[in-house]
Amino acid sequence: MEAICIIPARSGSKGIPDKNVYLLNGKPLIAYSIEAALASPKIKRVIVSTDSESYAEIARQYGADVPFIRPPELAGDEVHSIFSVIHCLEWLQEKERYYPELVVKLLPTAPLRKTKHIDEAVELYKQKGSGSVISVCLADKSPRYYRRIVSNHLVPYEAFNNINYQRQDLESIYQLNGSIYISTPQIIIKNRTFQVEETYPYVMDRKYSIDIDDCFDLKIAEFLLQRR
């Protein structure tokens, strides 16, 4: 199956200004995803979807294709990245008469993801042959640890039959790690999400699963990259 990679990279992040091109260990954050995708024999084309000319230039410097600048109405804080993927697919079909068999979405906020993870996730999708594949990692805590504050009292986030438990007896819980999303254009456009009923997990080690959201995440990622 012929796969393309789409990397959504809007400008205007509020938490970390220009987060997607922030210099992490001397390299723009987005460069890690571009290089990992370009090194994959499973990926035919790496496209960055951005609303910024300066981001586009940085992406091109690292080898990505930036065939268009994303419209501003698809680059706001409230616009989910799935709509940038749909826009890219529609643009390719209209302007190039091109329709890939498979789409791999990589978020630029996952700099520790490696090429082998992309390859393995694509291979997993090919084995399954339908639905989608989304990367996950083992969750830091079970929902049994979560609490809400209600009327200044601490109460369980969920109701459990027994709130006394041993950590080793808890079931394994997984969380989306914001790294790899794979499906077909048809499924993406029809459902407007990668997470459909038939979604298969690609499990990644937590040490590769950091998702940059704030400055603390940046410090952790920088530390891990320097140790490598």
Note the pLDDT tens digit of each residue in 19-56. 999 999 999 999 999 999 999 999 999 999 999 999 99
Please state whether 89 falls in left (phi above 0), alpha (psi between -120 and 50) or beta: alpha
Among the residues of 28-149, which ranges form H helices? Answer: 29-38, 53-61, 81-96, 115-128
In this predicted structure, what is the pLDDT of residue 63? Answer: 98
CA dihedral sign of residues 66, 67, 68, 70? negative
In this predicted structure, what is the pLDDT of residue 68? Answer: 97
Please state whether 114 falls in left (phi above 0), alpha (psi between -120 and 50) or beta: beta
Place of tokens 């294709």: 65
In this predicted structure, what is the pLDDT of residue 26? Answer: 94
**Structural domain boundaries of the chain?**
3-227
Looking at the domain 3-227, which fold is it? Spore Coat Polysaccharide Biosynthesis Protein SpsA; Chain A (3.90.550)
In this predicted structure, what is the pLDDT of residue 78? Answer: 82
194 residue type, one letter:
F
Residue-wise pLDDT for 111-165, tens only, equals: 999 999 999 999 999 999 999 999 999 987 666 667 778 888 887 767 655 554 5
Q: Is the pTM of this model over 0.85?
A: yes
In this predicted structure, what is the pLDDT of residue 149? Answer: 86
Residue-wise pLDDT for 58-102, tens only, equals: 999 999 999 999 999 998 888 899 999 999 999 999 999 999 999
What is the rounded distance in angstroms from the CA atom of residue 47 to the CA atom of residue 24?
Answer: 21
Give the bridge partners for 213, in sequence order. none
In this predicted structure, what is the pLDDT of residue 142? Answer: 67
Give the bridge partners for 7, in sequence order. 48
| φ and ψ of 74, to 5 deg | -110, 20
**Does residue 168 register a pLDDT over 60?**
no
- Beta-sheet pairing, 3-8 with 102-106: parallel
- Are 20 and 116 spatial neighbours (Cβ–Cβ below 8 Å)? no
